[in-house]
Amino acid sequence: MKFIIYNVRDDEIPFVEKWGRDHHVEVVTTTTTLNTETVNEAQGFDGVSCLQTIPYTKELFEAFHRMGIRYLALRNVGVDNIDRAAAKANDVTITNVPAYSPESIAEFAVMMALYLTRKVGYMRQQLQDQHEFHFSPEFMGRLISEQTVGIIGTGRIGRAAIHLFHGLGAKVIAYDKYPQKSTNGEFTYVDRLETLLNQSDIISLHMPATSDNHHLFNHEVFEEMKANAILINTARGSIVNTNDLIFALESGEIAAAGIDTLENESADLQDSRSTKKVADAELIKLSVMPNVLVTPHSAFHTTESVKNMVNISLNNLKAMVMGEKPANLIDEN
């Protein structure tokens, strides 16, 4: 039994090596992205582990089939970049890691909200651009406990974020197409998304990307939000129309944004060894705004998350190769 891990980062390697020793399985790592040009590296392996935001295409799964590879274990949650019909047609079984550390992403979302609420970006701009460093009345922020936080998506990550915002004293409301039965007294569901948009001072996104919510946050939605509203996106980039977001920030339709996931993320974003300079005009524009905090899809990145992503992914692969049912089939979670 032997596995290959694509897109491996330096921080993952110690956990990969330990898992291989503990389970007496040969695990080979490569820093390359999995695509039709690199899939030949998987020849002779029993399964593939991968972490990337670029597409897993029909052509890729056809290559899997030709090579006799039947198992792909993702090290992340999202499956919106997978041609699932093509995977099924080519007899490729796929697993993901639906809960590697909800708290890691939730804490990051709260950190972004605090950074933006207390106008830290304006303080940094004063020092970096104006070479000044002093107190300014313009930096006056607001307490989280003074605000209404709207959570969209109340799965594991959304509930973890709710718990943290509630702990800071915020009034928390939430919207989900499939609301859970219990709120533990920490939040209140609203029946309509428009209600959440109209009432929230901070809106934090925690739902998967689907065809239904592509560009859900666009010009019309930004117009419905409060002028002092802060948008936090640690979910998926496709949910927010980046061009409309920039307009909303520049025109004052909303006050600030924390963006950890971007539209059309390149493979370089998850490549810790990449030396390419940022060339995306929209990303550059967002990065220099004092009312924006933009990060490279890093909300998940804690020691606990990385360990769980590696271990759960490889456990899933081992179970599939041994003819057992893995815990995290994507068609069942």
Q: What is the pLDDT of residues 277-289, one digit of tens each?
A: 777 899 999 999 9
Please report the domains of the chain, with CATH numbers, ordered by start residue.
Answer: 2-100+302-332 (3.40.50.720), 102-294 (3.40.50.720)
pLDDT in tens, 98-116: 989 999 999 999 999 999 9
DSSP E strands in the chain: the ranges are: 2-5, 26-29, 47-50, 71-74, 93-95, 148-152, 171-175, 188-189, 202-205, 230-233, 256-259, 292-294
DSSP H stretches of helix in 132-266 = 156-167, 193-199, 219-224, 242-251
CA dist 288 to 218, 241, 277, 291, Å?
A: 21, 18, 15, 9
Q: What CA–CA distance (Å, rounded) separates 143 from 156?
A: 25
CB atoms within 10 A of CB 242: 20
> pTM (2 decimals)?
0.87
* Residue 273: predicted pLDDT: 62
Coil, helix or strand at residue 112: helix
Query: Which residues carry out catalysis?
Result: 236, 265, 297
Banded pLDDT at 258 (limits 50, 70, 90): very high
> Residue 294 is encoded by which pair of tokens?
């933009």
Nearest 5°: phi and psi at 87? -60, -45
On average, the pLDDT of the chain sits at 94
Residue 268 has pLDDT above 70, yes or no: no
Banded pLDDT at 22 (limits 50, 70, 90): very high
Coil, helix or strand at residue 174: strand
Q: Of 87, 96, 198, 109, nearest to 153 (Cα)?
A: 109
pLDDT in tens, 281-329: 999 999 999 999 999 999 999 999 999 999 999 999 999 999 999 989 9
Contacts of 295 (CB under 8 A, 6+ apart): 108, 112, 258, 259, 260
Contacts of 153 (CB under 8 A, 6+ apart): 176, 205, 206, 207, 208, 235
Q: Which residue type is seen at 30? A: T
Q: What CA–CA distance (Å, rounded) separates 234 from 315?
A: 26
Q: What CA–CA distance (Å, rounded) separates 255 from 67?
A: 52
Q: What CA–CA distance (Å, rounded) separates 278 from 291?
A: 20
